[in-house]
A and B are shown apart, each in its own frame.
Chain A
Amino acid sequence: MLATAIPIFGRELRTAARRPMDALGALLFFVVVGSVFPLAVGPDAALLAAIGPGVVWVAALLAVMISLHRLFLPDLEDGVLEQLLLSPRPFAGIVGARIAAHWLVSCLPLLAAAPLLGLQFGLTAPAIGVLLLSLLLGTPTLVLLGALGAALTLGLRGNVLLALIVLPMCVPVLIFGSGAVAASQQGLPVEPHLSLLGACLLVAVCLCPWAVGAALRLAVE
């Protein structure tokens, strides 16, 4: 499995390095959406601290959705996807490596920018730490679920469908993720939320690569 995954992983990182705007687009979107909210709800510090965790998490969710639209599209257009499907190596491994590389390229920058957004909303230092931990555990699940939507809607008109399919399935991650930050703000234990996020991630890691592989096979046939 690793022998399959590592070259694919490296290839994805190289392509991303040559087109940095693709990855940075999600980051910019994340920061802009997070900064627009205070303008809409007003500069009241207590209110901003209360809605902060949820806003940062929704911004992260939307940024992931935006970045996923082009996850498999270039490969479908230039025929790489067909070649990958012909490979004798396990396809789920290939898909897993692609998703992992995508997470590294487009979600890790979000984690780097998240403390900044946290400060904008007046989150305390421990709450920002929990926010980072929850994003670290939650965004891989979002990317795995989003990859399923991207594979199912690959080559179809309009990218609203992707969000329509994936967003309802992301609800638990959103709840546990923002719940963890809110709990730390109120001085409650955050471990249950983080454990549940980890459990969601494990389930997604076990099931999603196979489902994504099956959906990609359908898209190419």
Chain B
Amino acid sequence: MDSLRRIDPQPLAPAATRRRNGWRRLASPAVFHGWAGRAVPCFAALAGVLAAAGLWVGFAVAPTDHQQGEVYRIIFIHVPAAWMSMFIFLVAAFHAAMGLVFHTRLSALMARALAPTGALFTVIALWTGAVWGKPTWGTWWVWDARLTSELILLFLYLGYLGLVSAIDDPRRADRGGAIVLLAGVVNVPIIYFSVQWWNTLHQGASVSLTAAPAMAHTMLAGMLLMVGACWAYAVAVALARVRCLIVARDSLARRR
């Protein structure tokens, strides 16, 4: 840690410029390492509190669904995980694009730190979906548009993770991984619509931004709390992972 502190983030910039740059100073791995170290416990605590509240609302307060019974409570884990799996892919691709355009060293590390969490949420969404599908649809798996595109999203995550872990040279791993993520982002809508036209059996979306939600308010509250918990968890884990990556890169550069 001390060795990192000693690296001056912007050795040539005068103090006034450094202050004016404000949050952009966070693009420097050395500054970000310290900031992330302070942020991780806050986000972790937030995730714990929100998850406790969300699970309490979801399992104790929310009413039983009159069609599906108690089984529907999987929604409090399934839907946030599915949202996060797609959202994290977008965020990782955004960081990858920033890294390619602005050559910021931190961006590729952020993309790399986010990807395992995204893959984890994809697995959780698929797993809980299968567990939910068995009692309600009578089958673990159907080849429907949303399930299939979620599965392919998992493959895209695994392809990215496989590539960056196979390349030893950090620069090539960062930029090659960024190209894969951007190609994936261009592909995800095409994949989604192709599988949707191919076959659809899934129920329609019950939460949308334009129409009033077709579920009880307590259910919605529980779900949104869980979404917040997943958000905070993803941020905390990604920041913790990016701190490890920064230290690893730093020691790698030192050895050369």
Is chain B found bound to chain A in the same assembly?
yes
Give the interface of A toward B (CB within 8 A): 148, 152-153, 156-158, 161, 164-165, 167-169, 171-172, 175-176, 179, 196, 200, 203, 207, 211, 214-215, 218-219, 221
Contacts of B162 in A (CB 8 A): 161, 164-165
Interface stretch among B1-9, B189-197, B215-223?
A: B189-197
B194, A165: Cβ atoms closer than 8 Å: no
- B residues near A, CB below 8 A? 152, 155-156, 158-160, 162-163, 166-167, 171-172, 175-176, 179-180, 182-184, 186-187, 190-191, 194-195, 197-198
Q: How many A-B residue pairs have CB under 8 A?
A: 72
Complex CA–CA separation, A175 to B187 (angstroms): 14
Q: Which residue of A lies closest to B167 (CB)?
A: A156
Q: Which residues of the other chain, B, contact A168 by a CB distance below 8 angstroms? A: 152, 155-156, 159, 184, 187, 191
Contacts A164-B162, A218-B172 known; A171 to B195 CB distance under 8 Å?
yes
**A157 → B minimal CB distance (Å):** 7
User: A194 to B106, alpha carbons, bound, how many Å?
Assistant: 43
A157 with B171, Cβ < 8 A, contacts A168-B156, A200-B190 known: no
> Chain A's interface: helix, strand, loop or mixed, by majority?
helix
Distance between Cα atoms of A165 and B155 in the complex (Å): 8
11 A-B contacts, Cβ less than 8 Å apart?
A158-B166, A161-B166, A164-B158, A164-B159, A169-B184, A171-B195, A175-B197, A176-B194, A179-B198, A215-B179, A218-B176
Chain B residues in 8 Å Cβ range of A164: 155, 158-159, 162
A152 close to B152 (CB less than 8 A): no
- Report chain A residues within 8 Å CB of B191: 168-169, 171-172
Among B152, B163, B167, B197, contact of A165 (Cβ-Cβ < 8 Å) = B163
Minimum CB–CB distance from B56 to chain A (whole Å) comes to 38
Question: Which residue of A has the minimal Cβ distance to B165?
Answer: A161
A-side contacts of B171, CB under 8 Å: 218, 221
